[in-house]
Amino acid sequence: MVQAYDFALEKIGMDVYSYTIWNDYVTFLKSVEAVGPYAENQKIAAVRKVYQKGIMTPIVSVDLLWKDYCAFEMSVNPTLGKSIIESRSRDFLNVKRVTKELEILTRALDRNSPCVPPTTPQSTEEIKQLAAWRKLITWERSNRLKTEDALLVTRRVVLAYEQCLLCLGYYPDLWYEVCAYLEQTSRLYSERGDAHLAKRFLDEASTLYERATQTYMRSNMLIHFAYADFEEYRLNVDKARAIYNRLLSPDESNMKDPTLAYIQAMRFERRADGIKAARAVFKRAREDPRVNHQVYVAAALMEYYCTKDNNIAFNIFNLGLKKYGQNVDYILAYVDYMTHLNEDHNARVLFERVLSPDNAIPKQSQLPIWYEFLKFESQVGDLQSIKKVEKRRFNTYSELNDLEGRETLLIVDQYKFLNLLPCSTDELKLLGYKDTLSTNSSSITSSIANGSPAMNSTTLLEQAARDRRAHLSRPDIKHLMPYRPTRNPLPGSHPTPGGIFPLPETAMYLVNGLPPARNFEGPFVIIDKLMEYVANVVIPDNFEPVRISVQGEFIRDLDSNNSQQGRKTEHADSDDEDQNSQTNLNGRATMNIYQQRQQKRARLATAGEILMAIFEYMNVEDVWIIFFNMNSRFNSLVFDSRLRLTADVSKIDKSNFDSFCLSLISTNFSNIFTLILSNNYYRYSQIHSFLSRTNLTVFQSLHALTLIDINYNELTEVAKQIKQLPFVNYLHVNTHEIFRDKELSNVTHALLNESNIRVIVLYLHEKIQWIESEAITSCNAEVLSLDFINADRLALLLPNCPSLRSLTLTLDPRSSVPKTVDENLSSTLTLNTFAHITYLRLCFRPFDASALDRLLSSVPSVRRFSIETLVYNTDYIRSPFWTTLLQTQLPLLERIRLVVRGWFVLKSGTILSNEKFDDSSVVDSYRCDRYWLDRAYKRKFHCHVDFYSYTAVLQIR
């Protein structure tokens, strides 16, 4: 049994999913009964050996094997076991890191796919699988374990190749790569002097070659040739000969054209036994009806180069000419051989023989031969013979009607040499030479010489048209977009009738890094208009701001002094302009000048509104430093009552705090719309210093107040002053400085009873609570955000918030008062129905299904719902539970955001080591449900599972 386990581990023990074999082997060794101390020591050594070998192998669940090994060592000898564990821990961490990388690579592999021949063209799935397997093989060859055992690396690489060939056995490159890798490894060990391992890897390569030629590569010549060269290199000549014989046998290889196999077999026999053995193979090839003319060319050239006997080569060519006298490729090979021997007379005889009327070669097929004949005469003949061949060639083209008024192309072919042409590129285009010319043949016969010999003029014209289209400029289709009309395009986009035109790549990269447009609410500044106004506006030294009413009318100051002085000035200007323009006496020109002045003031007022809109996006400190005292007009804009500025005092350092507060309070407090104070940013008591210099009641235009890390006394004082601010409707308190129960109760009661505040954000980082006798009765908040509150406190708070529309909170379903062990709050909690709440954002910890059901049943009008929770049961992360709950309790739900973090290690004090689930099936249960597709705004469905700690995170947005 031990030998069987050892054999299994040697073969597949390095597989990433071989944990069960290692675990079974250890369990089997532990179950063996040992009699006596010696046997017990042998048993412990055997178990320790398997454990240490297993934890050094990157396999899934290797951490479980490590835990069992640590427990085993500590049970045998705690002192010795601790030292052994410490010495092995670093190597184990390396293996664990490599295991995660290997697991990621193997996820893309389909190990269960059958081995079938690849389709032509290859499908997308085949390409992905081939790329995934090659990525795994490359990873194995890179030695990510950083081990010095080269034998282990080789075994892992060969195992990866063998597993790959089980699914992709019809790819010859994979067979050749693994054999070449074994051959290279064998050469490496041979250089080191290890003859045994060198022979072992050569034998393994031979076995793989044999397996390939007997199975999937039975008819593949490439693998057979490589296998034969491999055996020939090992001096196994008989085995190499047997490979060629098996390939040439019609009963075993089933090849339709063994010509190339015969040629390689002749070369092998020449190397092994000489030219006579090669002639025997050639004789055998002539008797095989499947071979083509190439075998005659190869045999003739072999005789010429090896035996230096021209007569034998001539005889073979003439023998082949009898059989392939009408094959243009064979004739051209024969002609090429003749022309290189300086046999001018015999070459002319050959040309005349194949071009004679007795040789029934079609006229269309004679064109490349005529080209070679003209080329030959141009090199060795005189001008008279050249003209004769040219005339005969012209007559052939005339009979085929292939010239079509382009006889000049024949002259171009006559005078060219290699890639040198007698005309420029533009001239050749005008002649149409590029339409039919190939670099390796003549302009007219290019398609014939490179393709089939029966191409007509129509085919040539089609080929010419394709070549012409290949040189034409093509449009850039990267910005083509599908037809998706957009009803309400976003500001700043480029709408078209078919949708929004995409931005350039550089601009898209910038836009993707910006916050989404829904985070901004107008006014949206049109930059082009702004720059136009700034460039054309004339800023006077003295300027009286023009007030604009709600209806858009101009409101002028009609005080007696100012109005009379203004009228006098206007009339004085009018008189001067009347004299210069020589207008008539009916006063019409004066009215035109008055209208022009009003239009000029309107333009100035519009420019001022744009600048004030820009000021509202800036901090008050920046507005004050940059624009104050620039001129009288900017001063009027800075102090305009319509301007809404944000004073973020939290960003002011201590050195500038005093001067800033002085300028803010004395001159600019009437424009402060938002005020932010903090004690934390620069580590000084900013709020106390601010309150000591002024009172919040001076900020009568204040609408929003944010207080960060404020203490109890400061917050109590601020709460009293807020009551005197009529426009404050937003209050945000985020502090860690209040933690006593009585102080928390007083602060909560005071802030929630503010009747003027419509938006309350209260983050006290402690449980929200108040004294039972002092109930909250006057909370008119429409938006309420609480960081931590118990369910019973929430049940008392919601009935006193009749205007509440949006609720954000972190909810603890447990009670804030001690209860007995058997009493469960979720079963006793009773909530009324609050139909005015339409938005609910909930952070629910710990998770209680019954309490959540009761809470949702009390807010049936919720249209937007967001929840984050932590569960300890896989049933609460799956789709059926949430779909049933939401459909039942929230029938008006339109948009949902669900984030569920599951921790499945502990549940009721027990360890669930076998509780696993498929993350893809979980995500598909949501993604394929129309209910979730309609309500997930961004349609993002993601589930990440960590099988090492049995945790999962589900996100649906």
Write out pLDDT tens, residues 724-758: 888 888 888 888 778 777 887 888 878 888 878 88
Does the CA dihedral 433-436-438-443 come out positive or negative? negative
Greatest Cα pair distance in the chain: 137
DSSP 809: E
Give, in order, the Cα–Cα distances in Å from 237 to each of 184, 229, 243.
21, 9, 10
Q: How is residue 937 written in tokens?
A: 């705004």
pLDDT tens-digit series, residues 462-513 = 666 676 667 677 777 766 767 777 777 776 677 877 777 777 778 878 878 8
The neighbour count for residue 391, using CB atoms within 10 Å, is 9
d(CA 675, CA 661): 12
| Domain spans, the chain | 1-107, 122-217, 237-324, 328-386
Greater model confidence, 617 or 319: 319
Q: Do 218 and 168 form a contact (C-beta atoms < 8 A)? A: no
Predicted confidence at residue 184, as pLDDT, reads 92
| Cβ atoms within 10 Å of 545's Cβ, excluding its own | 19
- Tokens of residue 390, six digits: 């040219």
What angle do helix axes 275-286 and 259-273 make, rounded to 10 degrees? 160
Number of neighbouring beta carbons within 10 Å of residue 347 = 22
Which of 274-283, 398-407, 903-912 is predicted with the least confidence, judged by mean pLDDT? 903-912
Q: Which residues pair with 519 in a beta bridge?
A: none
Please tell me which of 354-363, 626-635, 658-667 the model is most confident about, judged by mean pLDDT: 354-363
Note the pLDDT tens digit of each residue in 312-371: 988 998 898 888 888 888 888 888 888 888 778 888 888 888 888 777 777 777 778 888
3-class SS at 810?
strand
Torsion of CA 600, 606, 610, 612, to 10 degrees: 100
Average pLDDT on 788-812 reads 83
Q: Is the predicted pLDDT of residue 266 greater than 90, yes or no?
A: yes
Locate 606 and state its tokens.
């519009």
Give the pLDDT confidence score for residue 813 in this predicted structure.
67
Asked whether 424 and 434 are in contact (CB, 8 A), the reply is: no
Higher pLDDT among residues 598 and 482, named by residue:
482
- Split at pLDDT 50, 70, 90, the class of 631 is low
Residues, the chain = 957
Question: For residue 639, what are its two tokens?
Answer: 């102090």
Phi and psi, residue 641, nearest 5°: -70, -20
User: What span, in angstroms and rounded, lies between the C-alpha atoms of 810 and 788?
Assistant: 5
Query: Which neighbouring-strand residues pair with 675?
Result: 647, 705
Closest alpha carbon to 926 in 890, 892, 881: 881
**Number of Cβ within a 10 Å radius of residue 19:** 17
Does residue 668 contact residue 624 with C-beta atoms inside 8 Å?
yes
Return the percentage of the chain with pLDDT > 70, whole number. Answer: 76
Per-residue pLDDT tens for 201-237?
999 999 999 999 988 888 889 999 999 999 999 899 9
Give the highest mean pLDDT range of 148-152, 366-370, 899-903. Answer: 148-152
In this prediction, residue 954 carries a pLDDT of 79
**Confidence bin at 446 (pLDDT 50/70/90):** very low
| Secondary structure of 881-928 as H, E, C letters | HHHHHHHHHCCCCCEEEEEEEEECCEECCEECCCCCCCHHHHHHHHHC
Which of the residue ranges 384-388, 471-475, 913-917 would you say has the lowest mean pLDDT? Answer: 913-917
User: 708 forms bridges with which residues in the sheet?
Assistant: 678, 734
Return d(Cα 3, Cα 83) in angstroms, integer.
31
Contacts of 321 (CB under 8 A, 6+ apart): 330, 331, 334
pLDDT of amino acid 366: 78
CATH 1.10.3720.10, applies to 1-107: no
- Both structure tokens of 299: 């045999």
pLDDT of residue 369: 84
Q: What pLDDT shows up at residue 549?
A: 43
**How confident is the model at residue 174, as a pLDDT?**
92
Cα gap 618→305, rounded to integer Å:
89
- The bridge status of strand 704-708 relative to strand 672-678 is parallel
Question: Angle at CA 8, nearest 5°, toward 5 and 13?
Answer: 110
- Three-class SS of residue 554? strand
- Distance spanning both ends of the chain, measured CA to CA: 54
Over 80: is that where the pLDDT of 305 sits? yes
Task: Give me 902's structure tokens.
Answer: 């599951």
Q: What is the pLDDT of residue 569?
A: 41
Pick from 239-243, 420-424, 886-890 the range whose average pLDDT is largest: 239-243
Question: Taking 50 as the threshold, does the pLDDT of residue 567 lie above it?
Answer: no
Over 47-114, what HEC string results? HHHHHHHHHCCCCCCHHHHHHHHHHHHHHHCHHHHHHHHHHHHHHHHHHHHHHHHHHHHHHCCCCCCC
What percent of the chain stands above pLDDT 90? 12
416-443 per-position pLDDT tens digit: 888 888 888 877 777 777 533 343 334 4
What is the model's pLDDT at position 438? 43
What does the pLDDT average to over 905-918?
47
Q: How far apart are alpha carbons 217 and 223 in whole angstroms? A: 7
Distance, in Å, from the CA atom of 99 to the CA atom of 65, rounded to the nearest integer, reads 13
User: Is 881's pLDDT higher than 70?
Assistant: yes
Query: Which of 70-84, 645-659, 835-849, 917-931 is least confident?
Result: 645-659
Give, in order, the Cα–Cα distances in Å from 429 to each of 293, 435, 458, 898: 38, 8, 20, 66
Across residues 163-190, what is the average pLDDT? Answer: 92
- Regarding predicted confidence, which is higher, 667 or 58? 58
For residues 499 and 482, is the Cβ–Cβ distance under 8 A?
yes
Query: What is the CA angle 646-650-655, rounded to 5?
Result: 115
Indicate the range of 546-560, 667-681, 898-912 predicted with least confidence: 546-560
Query: What pLDDT is attached to residue 523?
Result: 58
